Structure 1
């Protein structure tokens, strides 16, 4: 089992086993998950394929299995299934226990301000392809979903986002060399701001926000129709 596989396995196993707990019953959401996760994953996998092809980021062959799909390690494709599953599981726990750190009713204004600031950073750094695309897409996705999506429960979303930051830093840290110097995923220094949280590029935080938001909105939209 490759190092990347181990990271994914240990990320997944506890949320998966607890999905069948009689008080949690997340297994009853599996049909929704089977529809929502691929829907959100496709654009990120395509993004990943293009950036890998252009060496904006890449993968250390010593820590992956060698199996590939469209030039991506199979582990990287599984990342877009397993990590969203864990994040939606956490969101489900927050919902059934009615837990939220926030009571805020000005998300439209907050998101508009945040989108403008992040968009400007992306435009100013247009020559850095990961920074530019990540920040510009973050701004556009945030504005579009805030204004046009039926999803409004950002109190729970941001509670989930904060809680998932801890395992996110552990998992992404493991991928970017935080532990034992084993760098699974590398980034071209010319394509990022090179501002890091431990070993994680700051762009990955905004990337994570987009990935989480798209998965939660897809999940909630499909859930509302079943």
Structure 2
């Protein structure tokens, strides 16, 4: 039964959110197409990153907890991860944004983004000899710059707050993946390629990696959602 462990993690991460997507006061199911388009687009980048890091030994997977089927050198459960996790996060953001006013003032959000970029760039330079933190901090800094200053999104502060709300779930899921409650981790990390600071069993870089992934999922989800709504209004 252990070979179903990673699959079960994906399933239980998404099932509650999926069921509530059909609630008449939420109706997130109407936006499944927009979400899938966004998730697949963002996943293409992160899967390429995953394939590269797996190939050079930054991390690897424990076959004991896997079905054994692989694509691009990655377990199929790992590919599902890039759909299941974003679904739960985007759904949660959608719900909280629908029922609560969580918007930040423009100036406060800009200060937050600038400070975050500076900190991330400093960290990427400091850890330039360790590929996981270097790549993660640098690409997240670039992502924040693009989203805020080039693409002019106005929800980074709100998304950051909601990501913080989601952190207990993140720690639970990533905790199991990195070995919490198991005899050995499902995902193993090369200690020479990471900072070495962990939240329980989770490399601290994972929190920034997940943050960047969710930001881009939100951006493309709302982009495709607006396009769908425009097409519907033109009918």
> Which TM bucket (shorter chain)?
over 0.9
Measured in 2, the distance between the counterparts of 1:122 and 1:82 equals: 28
Matched, 1:77 2:79: yes
Alpha carbons 2:148, 2:156 under 8 Å: kept: no
Corresponding residue number in structure 2 for 1:23: 25
Q: Does the 8 Å contact 2:17/2:91 carry over to 1?
A: yes
Report what 1:142 is aligned to.
144
Correspondence 1:104 to 2:105: yes
* Residue 135 of structure 2: aligned partner: 133
Between the aligned partners of 1:39 and 1:225, the Cα distance in structure 2 is 16
User: Does structure 1 retain, via aligned residues, the 8 Å contact 2:104–2:158?
Assistant: no
Question: Tell me, what secondary structure is at the counterpart of 2:222?
Answer: helix
**Match of residue 207 from structure 2:** 205
Q: Distance in 2 between matches of 1:140 and 1:129?
A: 16
Q: Give 5+ residue unaligned stretches, structure 1.
A: none
**Structure 1 residue 35: Cα displacement:** 1.1
SS of residue in 1 equivalent to 2:23:
coil
Give the Cα–Cα distance (whole angstroms) in 2 for the partners of residues 164 and 182 of structure 1. Answer: 25
SS of the equivalent of 1:186 reads strand
- 8 A contact 2:109–2:157 mirrored in 1: no
Which position in structure 2 is the counterpart of 1:10?
Answer: 12
**8 Å contact from structure 1 (residues 7, 171) kept in 2:** yes
Number of positions where the alignment pairs a residue of Structure 1 with one of Structure 2: 225
Alignment partners' CA distance in 2, 1:96 and 1:124 = 40
Aligned-CA RMSD value: 1.3
**1:179 equivalent in alignment to 2:205:** no
